[in-house]
Amino acid sequence: MTTSFHPPVRTLMGPGPSDVNPRILEAMSRPTIGHLDPSFIALMDEIKSLTQYAFQTKNKLTLPISAPGSAGMEACVVNLVEPGDKVVICQNGVFGGRMKENVERCGGIAVMVENDWGTAIDLRQTEEALKANSDAKFLAFVHAETSTGVLSDAKGLCALAKKYNCLSIVDAVTSLGGSEVDVDGWGIDAIYSGTQKCLSCTPGISPVSFSDKAVDIIVNRKTKVQSWFLDMNLVMGYWGEGAKRAYHHTAPINALYALHEALVILKEEGLENSWARHQYHHKALATGLEAMGLAFIVPEADRLPQLNAATIPEGIDEAAVRKALLEQYNLEIGAGLGSLAGKVWRIGLMGFACNKKNVLLCLGALDSVLSQMGASIQTGIAVTAANQYYTQESLSRI
Ligand SMILES: *Cc1c(COP(=O)(O)O)cnc(C)c1O
């Protein structure tokens, strides 16, 4: 007989989903109420203002899309880009390529600025492209490339967008909560994130925000948004201002309880403290990995603390290592993606999963599994090296 599903208890240190804070799972199990219930409307207002806090924005059109990060990307593109619009897209990993797909499916013209995988987006090259395409309307880029573990200079890129009269479209799926994201300060026009990375929430929701300039474009389009579900002109009727909310789609009620709790937790900790915590544990992990003899593919200045892309020792079957970590330690780390498949592991330190216990678990488990497989690593010192870092450095000094 088929019975209830009870998942194994894992430690999630891959590219997402990350470990979900038990407070969030508890919030999610509370009774479902109607999506137009006055209590739910009040919750929606709180979610909007907490999302504004997380993004550091006063943008009125700030809300969670009822679908994962990919839908947030699509929501930004389909609402802004009309047929014939030119979009300069910076690509330095997998997710920039998806932006191109989205733009082209809207009839837009994608002008690609290609950067090597594992490097940050080059500002000079981007400026050249903007100069050469003075008719471009948008500049789109991924702030934190989860496929490679690179953090790009979003502030500098948004300043370039402004200088060349473009609106900026920013992927902050992996950066939000783990690294500084300043929507109003940097002048971001459209941004999307996801719940399952540094917000440590269950997957399936995508917080988004649009500037007044972006809203102006959305309400004055010549053509209808090609997606009915993601058309902000319609979604605003449900998520918009005031008490008069009309049915658009049934909100994922319990998933929004979860997002609310995740954002409350982020606010309790404080944005700056959360960014510092990610940096702190990243440094400890890096110290251990490097002591073991594993290298980072990303130069130190461009490393994304919440996603560590580390090389695989010579002659080691990387999938067998991940399988052993899962079986022996209930520990999940990620494989390489796209052109980095088979070349790196991606070790996530996201949100609730970004802590000392996980850093030490991961280093000890990798050390043991790699030794069992006869890898040429420095064995038995990674955990000690990380512990030394923890003894010498304190979070308050990061
Ligand atoms: C995970 C991720 C996405 C896609 O999010 P989903 O929730 O998987 O749809 C988009 N961009 C980046 C940078 C990501 O890391």
| Predicted pLDDT at 243 | 60
251 and 125 share one domain: yes
Task: Answer for the pair 213, 167: CB distance below 8 angstroms, yes or no.
Answer: yes
Q: Which helix (H) or strand (E) holds 213?
A: helix 212-219
Task: Answer for the pair 103, 77: CB distance below 8 angstroms, yes or no.
Answer: yes
Q: Which residue, of 245, 268, 291, is where some domain finishes?
A: 268
175 and 38 share one domain: yes
Please say if the pLDDT value at position 269 is more than 90. Answer: yes
Q: Compare 240 and 301 and report the one with higher pLDDT.
A: 301
258 and 112 share one domain: yes
252 and 192 share one domain: yes
Gap between the Cα atoms of 247 and 19, Å rounded: 33
Q: First CA to last CA across the chain, in angstroms? A: 54
Please say if the pLDDT value at position 397 is more than 80. Answer: no
Look-up: residue for tokens 């988004």? 208
Which CATH number do you get for residue 330? 3.90.1150.10
Please give the average per-residue pLDDT across 212-230, as a whole number.
97
260 and 294 share one domain: no
Q: Write out the residue range of the structural domain in which residue 312 sits.
A: 271-397
Would the CA dihedral through 30, 36, 42, 45 be positive or negative? positive
Look-up: residue for tokens 């043991």? 368
What total of structural domains would you count in the chain? 2
Give yes or no for a cis peptide into 17 (omega within 30° of 0): yes
Gap between the Cα atoms of 15 and 248, Å rounded: 32
120 and 232 share one domain: yes
Ligand 1 close to Cβ of residue 95 (< 6 A): yes
Task: Answer for the pair 204, 174: CB distance below 8 angstroms, yes or no.
Answer: no
The CA 1 to ligand 1 mean position distance, Å, reads 36
Collect contacts of 181-184 with beta carbons under 8 A, ≥24 apart. 181/54, 181/55, 181/56, 181/143, 181/154, 182/56, 182/155, 183/55, 183/56, 183/57, 183/59, 183/209, 183/211, 184/56, 184/57, 184/58, 184/59
Q: Closest residue (by CA) to atom 8 of ligand 1?
A: 69
The CA 72 to ligand 1 mean position distance, Å, reads 9
Nearest to 261 by CA among 33, 53, 41, 24: 24
Which CATH number do you get for residue 143? 3.40.640.10
Mean pLDDT score of the chain: 97
The CA 282 to ligand 1 mean position distance, Å, reads 21
| Predicted pLDDT at 229 | 97
| Predicted pLDDT at 27 | 98
Ligand 1 close to Cβ of residue 273 (< 6 A): no
Nearest to 193 by CA among 166, 237, 154, 136: 154
| Predicted pLDDT at 150 | 98
Per residue in 17-63, pLDDT (tens digit) is: 999 999 999 999 999 999 999 999 999 999 999 999 999 999 999 99
| Predicted pLDDT at 384 | 98
Nearest to 197 by CA among 297, 47, 303, 307: 307
Q: Which residue, of 235, 268, 301, is where some domain finishes?
A: 268
Ligand 1 close to Cβ of residue 171 (< 6 A): yes
| Predicted pLDDT at 242 | 65
Please give the average per-residue pLDDT across 168-183, as a whole number.
98
Beta bridge pairs of residue 114: 91
Ligand 1 close to Cβ of residue 142 (< 6 A): yes
Count of CB atoms situated within 10 Å of the CB of 241: 11
Q: Is residue 11 part of a domain?
A: no
281 and 212 share one domain: no
